[in-house]
Structure 1
Amino acid sequence: MQDVHGGNIWKWQNVPGQKVLDFSASLNPLGPPKRVFQLLSENLPNLVHYPDPENLEARRALSRYLGIDPRHIILGNGAMELLYLLPRALRLQSALIPIPTFSGYEKALLLQSADPRFIAWWGIDPFTAKVDKLARLKQAAGGIQGLFICHPNNPTGEVLEKRFLLNLLDFCQERKIWMILDEAFIDFLDQPEVYSLIQEVVSSTRLIVIRSLTKFFALPGLRLGYGVGPEEVIGRLKEEQIPWSVNVLAQRIVGEILKEEAYALESRKFIQAERLFLLKALAEIEGIRPLPGRVNFLLCQLTGEGLTSTRLAATLVEKGVLIRDCSALRGLNRQYFRIAVRTREENLSLLSALQRICL
């Protein structure tokens, strides 16, 4: 398995004579809330102290925000840390991964010598979009101990109805399957609570929800995520987690960024408008078929002859533009690439470059 991620700006930051536009990392294009930099500056003196090993202040802030007891909450060095800890903490021997999706689940399982099983499930074509998704999952779930669902899904941007997710959770409960719901991109939806299962965690014995705080707030370098699950599972995760994995600066800003309601509303409105603009403009470029995702990125298919996503990505790099080549992502091929939704000026630069290449 090839481990491929977007966001490696450091590899390309010295492209001669050009400013690099990064469409490979799916972050909030508005950047962090303005207050964040002031908060970080104010807390620099705290770098002389070890972080709180219990992340107590940050967990209490999340508890108030979610309305969930802090005993059900764990902080992580990004959502990725918690996803990598889960197979060991849950003692998973096998898990089902609907594809195409985030490649980190497979790697997390393999690191623990667990068996990842795959099912082509997320709808990248009209056939898979119309089949009975719940029935297909149930049919493929024989003998598994875990199920990874990325919701909204990366890279397709699809969103599932809450009723569907509740039915799937009921099935997992009956079969004693751990349902691991990765909601890293949930905050980009207009009404996250309408689609999330995070409030079901307290009453469920088989649900774990993982979220990122650095994608929506555009702070990936700070590394901050959290998990919500049964108290016993949270305890197991803490036993597996290295001490002080969350730094003191990350800990100190949690409570403040969760108060940024105006920023959240502005971000969702801005991203929705730019996504629709990009969707329409991309569809007008011959040889490109964008898939109508619901969050801050779009998966696109190259429909013409000759041009591959790898070649397209390499050509764009020469023009100072980074995209996510999805050819190595399980369930996709060399026709697919993903782009983030950026500002109008940046989006126009990408569209101009694509038009010149695809002519």
Structure 2
Amino acid sequence: MTLHAVVRAVRGQFELSVELSAEPGHVVAVLGHNGAGKSTLLDCLAGLLHSPETSVRLDGRELSLLPPYRRRVGVLRQRPLLFPHLNVRDNVAFGPRAAGARRRQARELADRWLAAVDAAELADRRPAQLSGGQAQRVALARALATDPELLLLDEPLAALDVDAAPAMRGLLRDVLRTNTGRVTVLVTHDPLDALALADTAVVLANGRVVEHGPTQRVLSAPRTPFAARLAGLNLVAGEAVEGGLRTADGALLHGLHAADTEQNSPAVAVFAPSAVSVYPRDGRVPGSPRNTADAVVAALEPHGPVIRLRTQAAAGWAGGLAADLTPAAVADLALEPGTPVTVVVKATAVDVHPAWPSGLARGPELPERSGQAYS
């Protein structure tokens, strides 16, 4: 089923304007900060929010003219929202029964889907007897039992603990790959979910699409601040020039241009926290580094086996950088919030890409301070 949706909706002062397309069997990850319009988009696709300017076409069939129960759309939210008075089997059978299936047929279908999500042994339990991971498996079976042509997943793993989430992620991957005709739209804040489950990624900001493309590309070479933060990378906005990126204050950040980067056009420089070295402000910086700037330590946070240092600066590209240091290095340098430092970024680790879309780095739709970094 090919999906093509043009969504226009207004909620109070918020306006959503998104165009979304997907081929049969594809999974589209929708990413964005809180309030970007992700849940509003899903509500429009499901028919829970009606807008006369919205068109949702699924394999040529116009869904926007149909009530939600006739759209063949399945929805899975963060919370399972199972009916507490029904056992698991009857929860899953509810959709087929509502669609006109006989009781026996609906229960047989429910048992098949419960087996598919590895929850067959839970059929006779009530929702109150389930763990969070078990309840979400049942909710997934219920969403799939109606054989939806469009499946909407709204942060399906966000409420699960660290032990249940990987198993549910693996289950979703298996279920989504076994149906090559269904289109799935996944809303998530987790880059691992997007990378593991989605073919393409769409980044929303203020109700507009600001970045889209293959998931791997969006997260490995982000062109917007939010995507960079999500991927755990630093991003500096400016203009592509020979040798790297010219920031708003006139500084040159040396780096390597991507193939599609055009000279003197809006661009972003992207680099990992591991590419940032930190030295005492008045200390000697070894070698002759080209990307050097002064900053102040803003925060120190445990980040797995390393300490993630974040900077602030009154001006220039060094404000808002993230750098990963070993605990020993932090101790040796006596670093703490407020410590003046010099940061050095390895030029060969800086990739310069076109901003998305053209002019975004200085555009009004996604406020940011040109020349500042995000991670």
**TM-score normalized by the length of structure 1:** 0.29
Which structure carries more relative contact order (alpha carbon 8 Å, separation 6+)? Answer: 1
> Bigger radius of gyration, 1 or 2?
2
Structure with more of its chain in helix, by fraction? 1
**TM-score normalized by the length of structure 2:** 0.28
